[in-house]
Structure 1
Amino acid sequence: MEDVEDSHQCGFCHAQLMEPYIKCCQCPPPEDDKMFICLHCFAKGVEFNGHESSHAYSIVKNNFPLFEKGWTALEELNLIKAISDCGYGNWADVSHQLRTKSAQECERHYTYYYIENPKPPLPELPEVYLDIHPLPVVFKLSENPPRPAEGSSVYNEMAGYMAARGDFTSEYDNFMEIDLRQMKFASKDDDEFEQDLKLAVLDIYQNCLKERERRKRVVRQYGLINLKALNYFNRRYDRTIKHLLDGLRVFMRLLSPEEYEKFIESLHYEYELKNEIQNLQLFRENGLTLLRQIKLYTILRAQHEQQREQRHLLNDVLMHLKDEAACQSWLQRQAALDTMGKGLPVNLPTAPRRAAAPLEIIGLPGYDKLTSKEKELCATVRLVPEAYLEFKSLLLNECQKYGCLKLAQARQLIKIDVNKTRKIYDFLCTEGVLNKDPL
């Protein structure tokens, strides 16, 4: 116990020492205060006048009680000093100098412990962590290996595992003992070959016992029976190296449990680093050079991806920008949605189908035999020139045979899409090739 407020200064920076502070245990006691060091200098590891940072040290503090709780050793020293300065009985001045206790508290404490019941200057302090009566043993279920409560869900999932014995109801090669139960070595009729055969069977059984013990040791050491730890292990690496865990599990016995966990964690860290590098490369490709720009870019990119996934009616209108019917359908759907927002039941009109792109017929057989209008027709209805010429010849022969040709007759002759047949029929009638009515 040291009187820190008056007695000592730091041997390096000469600052007034306040508890707690450091006292060197290896430097010889000097005439001045070079053996005391403040916490600031001690944290820097200062060395001066033969003192080294590797020296043994002790921490000096006076915040423990001597006589009663609530009164520290430092307050005891300050109380004695204040009474010697102010005189016995001047409790108001003593309390003012002490600052932490009232005048009544100072009078009561000094009268009781220093006058009425005096004790040695440094009484033996009882060890607070010892108790006369031993504490009861508190039962707690073990985590590794686990000892689940009987009847719990974990107990049912650990089929055949007996936690108290660290054993399984069904062993590896469980029926090995059946081959040994009838074996006897006391028979005198056994020849040398039969004796060697029995010994070989015992060797096999001994290897079986070693394998059982090895498997139990692997299960116990690597925590494979601890479902809680195993599930946490799998969840941690679910999004990173889950595809590698099943393949690496057979090699875990080549490493200790700590080494195996470090190896798996290093693979997980490698995956995260590669992913971070890919993200940084993506940011650089998009012109981002400052870290503060990444947050805004990530938010905008997520919003853009969300908008791309959402399909709305305007997309249908844009795809049929030149189609007046598509624009009209979009306006009708918007009006219907507004009406439905008011709580009225409405049947939404369906968006029109997207028209197929024209067929590229340049260079196909029969392309040179078509006129410019016929080329445009074949491209629009997506019909190859050779087939069009065949259909045209068929319809023309039928029209010449009967003097006219109706649309229903044309559909019976051409077994293709009825809309395409109508377009071909209307085109030929417009060009004057076919007659709708008899001449």
Structure 2
Amino acid sequence: MANPAHSDIIEEDAADLQFPKASGMREVNSKPDKSVLKDENLTLDSICRGCNSALIEPYIKCLVCYYTICSSCFSNGWEAAQHENNHPYRVITNEFPINKQSGWSAREELILIDALKVCGFGNWIDIVKRLPGMSPEEVEAHYMKYYIDEPSLPGLPKLESSIAVTETIYFSCKLNDVEEPPRFAPNSLNSRALAGYNAARSDFEVNFDNHAESVIADLKYDEFDEEEDDDNYNLGKSLQAAIVEGYNARLKERERRKNIIREHGLIAVRRTMLWLQRYDRTITLPVAEKLLKIMQLVNGLDLDYVMECLHHRGEIKNYISKLFEFRKNGLKHFYSVPMYQKLRNLRREQEKDRRSYASNIEQSFKNILNGSNSAAGTNNLVGNICQRKKPPPLEIEGTPCYDKLDEAEREFCSNVRIMPESYLEFKHLLITENKKMGHLRLAQARTLLKIDVNKTRKIFDFLAQLEFENAETLLISEVHLLLEHRKAQNELAEDEQEFSEVFTKSFNYTERFRKFKSKEMISAVRRISGCKIEVYSDIFGPDIFIETGNYNIWPIN
């Protein structure tokens, strides 16, 4: 007799058992091993047709009308309109083994499956409570062997091999980051490099608008009385609501900025700068920095798409400029380009050597005269030439802002070894200062540019030659510089010679731009002169007259 506690399982299985209907009597097989079908016993009817009670194994099944009858009704000879007690029958039981090798009966298999549905896979301790006399290890081993590894039980679905086998996929990076997030100390160098971002809790140590909570910290919501005679109640509540709305707006702005940082990966400042340097030769750094403003409007992929499109455009532009250069030099076929580049580099090297020798020819001639009678003089000559060799011109072709320069500016930047982008910035800075102050001095240029003083003087002279400022402003600047020098009490002979050269240069510029010799120029000189101007007849000669009393400078034609 089966355990009554498992009657519900048997009843549910019995309810699903169906047999084909037939009007006549079916022939009964007399073989005992075929009297009970295993695949039909796995599902049972739920109740007895005679007493409507739950079926408990073993029970009887009629082979004519397919009624299921409990053993009690069968022994009492129960009959119905379509069922008679002389009909052939079968004894239904699930105490037979489904797999002879396992030694488990069909009833135990059904209990195991039902327990797995309720308790879940892996919860073998609770499953064993429904299968007394078995250990968790035994139940787990049975299920893994006959249901997972070697599914041989009838009715189990057959899985195709392609589903079980996982195709090998090769990745260029790790799928799972097993490393813990970095935990840098606050105010450390690494923490500042990440803008104070705490990766362990995915937030910043100091948020944007970090003191926004102070707005509502002292807010008292019960400060106003709700009585009808209180006229300030509605006004007070409206003010409090406005304060809270303002606080919420500040929180929204904080979250918006966090989303932008997260979307575009702006936590690591150094990595962002390296990313911008990638577009230095194509988009140029100033343009790329301006494009960063659209981060607030687009996501990371869209911004990358825009930047890459502009980068590709810049590459095409540089490539076209190279083609223009090749065609300008008479090249019509690509196979001639390597030879042209080789000869061009050779010519540049020869030009560097020629310039180096030409710049030191006076010193070399002196060394030759001093050491003509000794072999050591020749060695000193070679050594001095090597020591005084100027740096070669800088290769600036294809660099950012190269196409914005004319031929003279390109040659100047190459010889002075200044990048075109830096040169344009210096030029814009000097021109802006000149327009702002009305004049520009070399000392001011040195303060503005903050680079090598020799390069500053070269840039200053070159821009003056390019007529970026008129002769009037240039003359005023140099005269003002001379006057300031004359005010000093402790001037030296070297400074005197230097400023004499500067004043001579100013006069030469004035001779070059004679149209600016007007009364307006004289008035400008009067405005900046704070002391009497002395006559430098040894500098200017008889062609210029300086009236000391009236502070006039008037070149005589």
Structure holding more helix per residue: 2
TM-score normalized by structure 1?
A: 0.41
